[in-house]
Amino acid sequence: MTLSETTTDLDDLTRQLDHDHVFHSWSAQGALSPVVIAGGSGSVVWDHAGRRYLDFSSQLVNVNIGHQHPAVIDAIHRQADLLATIGPATANLARGEAAKRIVSRAPEGFSKVFFTNGGADAIENAIRMARLHTGRDKVLSTYRSYHGNTGAAIVATGDWRRIPNEFARGHVHFFGPYLYRSEFWATTPEEEGARALHHLERVIQSEGPASIAALLLESIPGTAGVLIPPPGYLAGVRALADKYGILLILDEVMAGFGRTGRWFAFEGHDVVPDLITFAKGVNSGYVPVGGVIISDPIAATFDERVFPGGLTYSGHPLAAASIVGALDAMESEGIVENARRVGAEAIGPGLVALAEKHAAIGEVRGEGVFWALELVADRDTHEPLAAASIGKLKAELVSRGLLPFVADNRIHVVPPCVVTDDEVGQALAIYDEAFAAAL
């Protein structure tokens, strides 16, 4: 058997095992035909036969440091040799070092981290903390949002996925700003922000401020469309929270740790939350992990009062070591700065030029390595491009060697923070060819 036959057989075996035994999330199972991935490095992945793909999805927008970064792999190896697992009730050096690095990036007044297994249970525990700290029940979040697939997190989510899963209590939704499809008849970012804040205040008043524990927002809604808040909006939300004695939880699960060209996305919006949730980018998903960064007044609530929450793998030493390896490498190698520069100098201008060539691109928005192309059938009416056309475009991208992130009528352009200018150039050429072929 030749090498090529061997590798082709491995791809076929992988597909067959997946088809026979793996149940995929958010999918009807019968028609699935996932791309086989065997390995990766930086912004590139490949199958067993060596077919290479530019990963401009960062998988689920989480591989910020890129695939197989040696510093993170080495940190996991060294921790595995020392101690592979230990319970959360113990003190562990890797866990403490990870928490220290995380709070060093947070605003002043945040000293503690509660570790979770991922973003959804970070949201769950942030909501729990807010309710216990305030003695209130309701949580307000936007319709255009995604916060995770567990009990309260999925109900806090605003999109269609919450509807079959609405079992948690005390959740209320409102509209956040989205000028391209404004709910407020706005024509400028300033109008959109002001009117969205007025709408939010009326919802708060109508629900009863004394019943509301927290406002929960993605600093920049990700899966919902990379919706950059208009100037002053997040600061205005903070002011409303303060006015009515409500906590502000900012969800940085997707937007945090370099994705926007900043350590936290909210740093560009003159706002400090009360609780910060994170996951994904903190270690690029090499080991499952997430958490809540807790402001000191909320942490003090539980100095003498038991916090009724915990997870067997909270602060798992392999996850903690991967955080230390990832954050140290991101700092020493200037990876966050690279994301900011490549977004401003290569991705942003390249996508704007792409939109000038292809009428199906209704809007380009984003920053850092966090961008979206809103695809439309008609630029004047903003009618969304049909699902069949989106599917054809996705197939053209994959066939040309690019893994896209597709959501509704959008292509999200979200490569790792380590992406190079040359790789951005290659990707832009593939987008151009795919748009020409599909549309």
Q: State how far the Cα of 307 lies from the Cα of 46, in Å rounded to an integer.
A: 45
Strands 171-174 and 138-142: parallel
pLDDT recorded at residue 7: 76
Q: How many CA atoms lie within 13 A of 412 on its CB side?
A: 25
What are the C-alpha distances in Å from 206 to residues 22, 202, 211? Answer: 46, 6, 10
Q: State how far the Cα of 167 lies from the Cα of 145, in Å rounded to an integer.
A: 18
Q: Are 375 and 390 in contact (CB under 8 A)?
A: yes
Q: Are 156 and 169 in contact (CB under 8 A)?
A: no
Sequence-distant (6+) residues with CB within 8 A of 425 are 346, 350
Q: State how far the Cα of 16 lies from the Cα of 112, in Å rounded to an integer.
A: 45
The candidate with the shortest Cα–Cα distance to 245, out of 109, 135, 143, 126, is 135
pLDDT recorded at residue 5: 60
CATH of domain 35-68+334-438: 3.90.1150.10
pLDDT recorded at residue 233: 98
* Chain Cα centroid distance, residue 133: 26
pTM value is 0.96
Q: Using H for helix, E for strand and C for coil, what is the string for the chain?
A: CCHHHHHHHHHHHHHHHHHHHCCCCCCCCCCCCCCCCCEEEECEEECCCCCEEEECCHHHHCCCCCECCHHHHHHHHHHHHHCCCCCCCCCCHHHHHHHHHHHHHCCCCEEEEEEECCHHHHHHHHHHHHHHHHCCCEEEEECCCCCCCCHHHHHHCCCHHHHHHCCCCCEEEECCCCHHHCCCCCCCHHHHHHHHHHHHHHHHHHHCHHHEEEEEEECCCCCCCCCCCCCCHHHHHHHHHHHHCCEEEEECCCCCCCCCCCCCHHHHCCCCCCEEEECHHHCCCCCCCEEEEEEHHHHHHCCCCCCCCCCCCCCCHHHHHHHHHHHHHHHHCCHHHHHHHHHHHHHHHHHHHHHHHCCCEEEEEEECCEEEEEEEEECCCCEECCHHHHHHHHHHHHHCCEECEEECCEEEECCCCCCCHHHHHHHHHHHHHHHHHHC
pLDDT recorded at residue 418: 98
Is the CA virtual torsion 96, 329, 342, 370 positive or negative?
negative
Q: Specify burial of residue 190 (Cβ count, 10 A radius: 0-12, 13-18, 19+).
A: middle
Between 421-438 and 387-399, two packed helices, what is the crossing angle to 10 degrees? 130
pLDDT along the chain (439 residues), means of 10: 67 95 94 94 97 98 98 98 98 98 98 98 98 98 97 96 94 98 98 98 98 98 98 98 98 98 97 98 98 98 97 98 98 98 98 98 98 98 98 98 98 98 98 97
What are phi and psi for residue 365, nearest 5 degrees? -150, 150
Q: Compute the residue count for the chain.
A: 439
pLDDT recorded at residue 1: 41
* Chain Cα centroid distance, residue 378: 29
- Domain limits of the chain? 35-68+334-438, 70-332
The candidate with the shortest Cα–Cα distance to 260, out of 371, 360, 120, 107, is 371
The candidate with the shortest Cα–Cα distance to 250, out of 221, 276, 281, 230, is 276
The candidate with the shortest Cα–Cα distance to 322, out of 104, 77, 45, is 77
CATH of domain 70-332: 3.40.640.10
The candidate with the shortest Cα–Cα distance to 260, out of 347, 184, 377, is 347
